[in-house]
Structure 1
Amino acid sequence: MLPWLVVGLGNPGPTYAGHRHNVGFGVVEELASRTGARFSSARPIKAEVAESRLGPPGTADAPRLLLSKSRTYMNETGGPVSGLLRYHKITVDRLVVVHDELDIDPGQLRVKFGGGDNGHNGLRSIRASLGTGDYYRVRVGVGRPPGRQDPADYLLSNFAARDRESLAVEIVRAADAVESLVTAGLERTQSAFNS
């Protein structure tokens, strides 16, 4: 059975690690930690990949997950995503992209299939590379910036210390949503997780 490709969006390197824009990286790292999977470099594709299985160890028919973090900046994410799909012969209907969402309040998430890019550079890059936006998305709410702060500056800033505990809870919830999407399907996952 073909694996699922789960892509967490973010920017590489320690400078960006705690930024709102890197929530997707946090979710795929959480998924990898659940099974002890380790990320390694897929050099020609400019991505880090970890292979994981859902379900009890040794279950032959447990769904396989390829977890990925791009080693390019957000606005160039499409190349690594399309490269991984091609290399592993995965169809776009088995792609899950996890990303931050300005239009969803912190502490909320939404799971959906397809849709627009809503100004998100990572999603725009993926659409440009794949020629479609028809893939699954797990959208983690980060909310709008306060006052007149530029949204780009807001996304490229760290979470406030008071928000880090709730962020950790949301990363776990988003990882649970990815697992549910793969094992239970879209409708049941939306019923359980969309807020």
Structure 2
Amino acid sequence: MTYEGLIVGLGNPGTKYARTRHNFGFMLADHLLEHWAGQPGTACTARSGRLNAQLWDVSEDYGARRWIVAKPLTFMNLSGQVVGELSRKNEIPADRILVAHDELDLALGTVRLKFSGGLAGHNGLKSVAAHLGTRDFARIRLGIGRPEGSEAMADYVLRSFMPAEWEQVAQALGIARDAVLHYCSEGLTAATSRLHSR
């Protein structure tokens, strides 16, 4: 089967991490899958396999476009193992991969698309780049902001969103979902232009 590309949500497995900032990528993958499951002409089917990941086949527009959606279950710093293997097995080049991840350098509620460039110290992105052998893949960056005061960065990203933040989280997920849908139908350049002109 030929795929248009691979969409990856980054996060950590297990209920302990489900609502944490570092799992924003997982949250977006779930939001997308929920949307696709209810769309006419779209099929969203869980895939089985040997990989340590949750995988889905998504077929849009009555089969005109097909995507793999993945949530690696290897923990964040090993996410690239799954991405690299899916890329090789399905002959999906790095430039057809979109990775959703939390972003410290953007305020909570801010969503941005980006192709290639730096990894901003993000262990999930580092792992993906290492296993693909390139940084030339697309990212959808989900802002979480930086901690106030002296809180350690690792503690901050592994802490759940505060109750007062969930409205912004929900709004960001809606914006990001639409951006990914535009990416799937129109390509990265057009989707980036739409998103960044909001």
TM over 0.5: yes
Shift of 1:41: 4.6
**1:145 corresponding residue in structure 2:** 147
Shift of 1:168: 1.3
Aligned partner of residue 88 in structure 2, secondary structure: helix
**1:15 corresponding residue in structure 2:** 16
Shift of 1:45: 1.7
Instruction: Give 2:59's aligned amino acid.
Output: R
**2:69 corresponding residue in structure 1:** 67
What CA distance in whole angstroms lies between the structure 2 residues aligned with 1:147 and 1:38? 44
**1:123 corresponding residue in structure 2:** 125
* Aligned length, in residue pairs: 190
The one of 91, 94, 98 equivalent to 1:92 is 94
What CA distance in whole angstroms lies between the structure 2 residues aligned with 1:118 and 1:41? 33
Q: Which runs of 5+ in 1 are unaligned?
A: none
Q: Which runs of 5+ in 2 are unaligned?
A: 38-43
**1:49 corresponding residue in structure 2:** 55
Deviations 1:57-93 (A, max 9, x none): xx242x2121110011100001010111122221111
Contact 1:114 1:135 in 2 (8 A): yes
What CA distance in whole angstroms lies between the structure 2 residues aligned with 1:16 and 1:60? 34
Aligned partner of residue 45 in structure 1, secondary structure: coil
What CA distance in whole angstroms lies between the structure 2 residues aligned with 1:125 and 1:82? 9
What CA distance in whole angstroms lies between the structure 2 residues aligned with 1:104 and 1:192? 18
Aligned partner of residue 179 in structure 2, secondary structure: helix
The one of 100, 103, 111 equivalent to 1:101 is 103
TM-score w.r.t. the length of structure 2 is 0.90
Instruction: Give 2:127's aligned amino acid.
Output: S
Shift of 1:38: 5.0
Instruction: Give 1:101's aligned amino acid.
Output: E
TM-score w.r.t. the length of structure 1 is 0.92
**1:24 corresponding residue in structure 2:** 25
Deviations 1:8-34 (A, max 9, x none): 000001100000000000111111111
**Identity value in percent:** 39
**1:35 corresponding residue in structure 2:** 36
Alignment RMSD, CA only? 1.5
Contact 2:183 2:191 in 1 (8 A): yes
Contact 1:47 1:72 in 2 (8 A): yes
**1:172 corresponding residue in structure 2:** 174
What CA distance in whole angstroms lies between the structure 2 residues aligned with 1:127 and 1:73? 16
What CA distance in whole angstroms lies between the structure 2 residues aligned with 1:93 and 1:48? 22
Contact 1:32 1:38 in 2 (8 A): no
Deviations 1:115-165 (A, max 9, x none): 111100000011111110100100010000111111111000000001112
Change in Cα spacing, 1:189 to 1:13, as seen in structure 2 (3 Å) is same
Contact 1:51 1:64 in 2 (8 A): yes
Aligned partner of residue 64 in structure 1, secondary structure: strand
